[in-house]
Amino acid sequence: MVLPITRAGQTTPYGVLIAGISPRREFDEDYRGFYDLLADGVTTAIANARAYEEERARVEALAAFMCVISRVIKNCSASLVPASVVKLIRRS
């Protein structure tokens, strides 16, 4: 059996799940429902993995940005940046 893997809101699948069915069991509505649930679970797992990777990339970009900002503040004149901020940055 070939089941489509789609993203929410899209009708065109971006992948398929190929699963075998038992020749000893009648392919009825309950059996089909099981495979639909299986496809939904795979779709959810893929979506969760993509969301995790996107969040990780955002965190890495933010960390790089904060590193640059930290370097800029450390190199600024004390008259431009409040002393409390400079102390906080130098501790990190």
Give 8-21 pLDDT, tens digit per residue.
788 888 899 999 99
Residue 17, domain extent: 2-91
Say whether 4 sits in a helix, a strand or coil. Answer: strand
* Domains identified in the chain, total number: 1
Burial per residue of 65-79, b for 16 or more beta-carbon CB atoms within 10 angstroms, e otherwise: eeeeeeeeeeeeeee
Tell me how far CA of residue 90 lies from CA of 11, 17, 46, 48, 77, in angstroms: 52, 53, 41, 37, 14
Look at residue 81 in the predicted model and tell me its pLDDT: 63
Residue 74 has pLDDT above 90, yes or no: no
Place of tokens 């065109």: 12
- pTM as predicted: 0.64
